[in-house]
A and B are shown apart, each in its own frame.
Chain A
Amino acid sequence: MAAAARFFTRGAHSKLSLVAVGGGGGAHCSFGAALLNASPTCNSRTKTQRRHAAHFTFQPDPVPTQYGPTQKMNLFQSITSALDNTLAADPTAVIFGEDVAFGGVFRCTVGLRDKYGKDRVFNTPLCEQGIVGFGIGAAVAGATAIAEIQFADYIYPAFDQIVNEAAKYRYRSGNLFDCGNLTIRAPWGCVGHGSLYHSQSPEAFFAHCPGIKVVIPRSPVQAKGLLLSCIADQNPCIFFEPKILYRAAVEQVPMESYTIPLSQAEVLEEGSDVTLVAWGTQACADERKENNLRGVKGAKPSPHDPCAEGSGKHGPRETGGVMRGHRSTDHPALGCGYRLQVGGENWPFAHQPRGPNNRRLCF
């Protein structure tokens, strides 16, 4: 009763727009309705809040010409294309996870079961530790195993299998056994309405673990090439797919197979003021315009070699410093470790009061 009174008085002083109060028991409803009527600032017609969709405009890359004929595809279609190419070329390849058989909750595997058979594209029970463990075993026995985790937020039950087993399989066996044929895919990152458990960017947990590779594309063309590289790569790879880009990112994507190197930074724009490093959706953000910088943008630093873009003509020694952009938590973040590593490497240069171009180096 007291809470309701407070609600009433708050309503009296502010322009409170109420979302539909009904739904629930009868008593509740009528009480809420009474409140509505009693509040002086509320109209009898309730103002409903407009849902603001996530604001995002994807800029497609120019059409690639070096990989053969292209077709208009969004991100999930470029994933399907990569998987289709893989199943066609590699008879040992299998795709499995929750709900992949009917096409997947994000439509990434649509049509593949009909085309390649139920022994190659199949549902597993609802158990992430089982999905990854099963994938490791299949890879060890020589199959190309492509495991899907339904959301990156649910990858944690598989953390033991990924970190203690997949990452260490080759090392601990003296290279007698390995699960290089394993690729784990998972939708990743914020999407606007995902809240705590459909928005996570857990790459930092895995980037810290030697033995696996973590890859996050920024566009459909990148996604297909990088996914095919992950599948071909003889190390276990985790491929995080920015879910906000599944439909929003549309490009002309080559229909045939092609690969994009995993361990090289991609320079998106030349510049000399600062080195901006980003991955995934953040690489789509136009920080340059927003921050008035003439900067270099490097995308997808490989976690086991974060300094690749820290050196060379685009590194902080040549520009004024490094800024890293990502969408995970800053708690500390992957960027923090990266900063320490790149910072440490460049310490002798940072120590000078002025760097090249008379700018102070910052990290």
Chain B
Amino acid sequence: MAAVSGINKMYGVCLHAVRVTAGLRAARLLQHRAFRVGAVHQQQPFDSSLEKPQFPGASAEFIDNLEFIQPNVISGIPIYRVMDRQGNIINPSQDPQLSKETVLNFYQKMTLLNTMDRILYESQRQGRISFYMTNYGEEGTHIGSAAALDPNDIVFGQYREAGVLMYRGFPLDMFMAQCYANADDLGKGRQMPVHYGSKDLNFVTISSPLATQIPQAAGAAYAVKRENMNRAVICYFGEGAASEGDAHAGFNFSATLECPLIFFCRNNGYAISTPTNEQYRGDGIAARGPGYGMMSIRVDGNDVFAVYNATKEARRRAVAENQPFLIEAMTYRIGHHSTSDDSSAYRSVDEVNYWDKQDHPISRLRHYMTARSWWSEDDERSWRKQSRKMVMEAFEKAEKRLKPSPELLFTDVYQEMTPNLDKQRQSMWRHVQQYKEHYPLDLYDK
């Protein structure tokens, strides 16, 4: 048939022309090619009898009036919550009905974190440690999500998730050791404070570049999916880091490669001094999820039960269905970005006070507990004293410890010590021995 030989020459020039001129024979040829080229999902077989779109790139109907989709930022994705700001359960079916012991543990971990933050922030101000970042206002996001995970789930964090580590049982001594960079630091004193990590607790060591952990979390989730051991991965990041290219990469990879992964965005209103209206123009981070084909939800990050419920369900489904979930936890960064920041330069004290006094995850949980007579004023007083004492003890101990051995400057660059590094190491020791009066070697471990 002339039409058939014509098809072979015309292929690649115009699909539409082929469809119109050919008929079923051509449709079968092209269908065959589509199956061969197609990846995981096969293309739909053509049916040229209906006037339906056949594009491989989108599954949609035709429309014949010109209409731009309006981004809905006025009434964006709704915010899921379980408690009101006074700690009362709004819809009883959403109350996770956790035991008193569990809820007390939530509260104590949040307040212990808060106490540790106060003391370590102060210690930086006094010149005892070089740098610190507090978690004020975001304790609910840490504890609620950590409690919903399995201990074996891998955590990739950004830098403001110390509560996750605390919930999992990272000792105060180890927090302090990392901040003081002393010889007990698991990280061997190499990083700035708050760059925690723990292999035992499946908390991958923090790094300073933002959002780099997001595609890494997708890779880790893919690997654990293949292991088939009922493990998930969670990846925390702020709304600022979500602007990075790595975030886009991580979202897209996790969706296309079907990874059991929870993306947990702490939208706390600021990226250092940059408010959200200068960070994005769309409806936050949750609205991006559907763009990637990802299940998404927005929650009240100051409601520890809402965070818990959402994370729990996301985790269950991520593992069961091998797909990523995006949780955007709305919260507020009550503290400065870090000890190098003074946020009064870009926001009002009134704004900060509102969140501190009227919508704080710790107070909301306390109201919930006191309403059930699970926590009294006496309990509060004695716990404050006890937690402060625990932190101070760890703090004093950490201060007295020696610093790591200078040998550790040169190890772990590669798995093995290389001749080049060994030469530098020997050169360092020669120098330090020659000028030992300038080097306080007695402060360092051998």
Of A13-21, A133-141, A251-259, A290-298, which stretch is located at the interface? A133-141
Report yes or no: A143 in contact with B418, Cβ–Cβ below 8 A: no
Of A117-125, A198-206, A271-279, A323-331, which stretch is located at the interface? A117-125
Quote the shortest CB–CB distance from B131 to chain A (angstroms).
15
CB of A177 within 8 Å of the partner chain: yes
Chain A contacts for B198, CB-based, 8 A: 176
- In the docked arrangement, what's the CA distance between A155 and B420, Å? 27
Quote the shortest CB–CB distance from A307 to chain B (angstroms).
7
Given A130-B253, A172-B191, A173-B187, is A136 in contact with B216 using a C-beta cutoff of 8 Å?
A: yes
Report yes or no: A137 in contact with B190, Cβ–Cβ below 8 A: no
- In the docked arrangement, what's the CA distance between A199 and B179, Å? 46
Q: Mark A105-123, 1 if CB is under 8 A from B, else 0.
A: 0000000000000110011
Report yes or no: B212 in contact with A164, Cβ–Cβ below 8 A: yes
CB of A180 within 8 Å of the partner chain: yes
- In the docked arrangement, what's the CA distance between A232 and B253, Å? 26
Report yes or no: A174 in contact with B188, Cβ–Cβ below 8 A: yes
Interface set, chain A 66-81, CB cutoff 8 A to B: none
Interface set, chain B 184-219, CB cutoff 8 A to A: 185-188, 190-191, 195, 197-199, 204-205, 207, 209, 212, 214-219
Report yes or no: A118 in contact with B40, Cβ–Cβ below 8 A: yes
Chain B contacts for A138, CB-based, 8 A: 219-220, 222-223
Given A133-B250, A168-B207, A172-B207, is A143 in contact with B226 using a C-beta cutoff of 8 Å?
A: yes
Interface size on A, residues (CB 8 A): 53
Report yes or no: B414 in contact with A119, Cβ–Cβ below 8 A: no
Chain A contacts for B53, CB-based, 8 A: none
Report yes or no: A171 in contact with B204, Cβ–Cβ below 8 A: no
Other-chain contact of B252, A130, A145, A160 (Cβ < 8 Å): A130
Quote the shortest CB–CB distance from A37 to chain B (angstroms).
33
- In the docked arrangement, what's the CA distance between A94 and B224, Å? 13
CB of B257 within 8 Å of the partner chain: yes
CB of A304 within 8 Å of the partner chain: yes
Quote the shortest CB–CB distance from B391 to chain A (angstroms).
23
- In the docked arrangement, what's the CA distance between A95 and B386, Å? 53
Report yes or no: A125 in contact with B252, Cβ–Cβ below 8 A: yes
Quote the shortest CB–CB distance from A102 to chain B (angstroms).
8
Chain A contacts for B412, CB-based, 8 A: 170-171, 174-175
- In the docked arrangement, what's the CA distance between A129 and B253, Å? 11
CB of A266 within 8 Å of the partner chain: no
Other-chain contact of B212, A118, A133, A141, A180 (Cβ < 8 Å): A133
CB of A59 within 8 Å of the partner chain: no
Sampled A-B contacts (21; CB under 8 Å): A101-B39, A125-B252, A127-B249, A130-B253, A133-B246, A137-B218, A137-B220, A138-B220, A138-B222, A140-B219, A141-B233, A165-B209, A170-B414, A172-B191, A172-B195, A172-B205, A174-B412, A176-B198, A210-B413, A213-B414, A305-B418
Closest 9 CB pairs of A and B: A137-B219, A133-B215, A130-B249, A137-B216, A173-B205, A138-B219, A141-B223, A134-B219, A174-B188
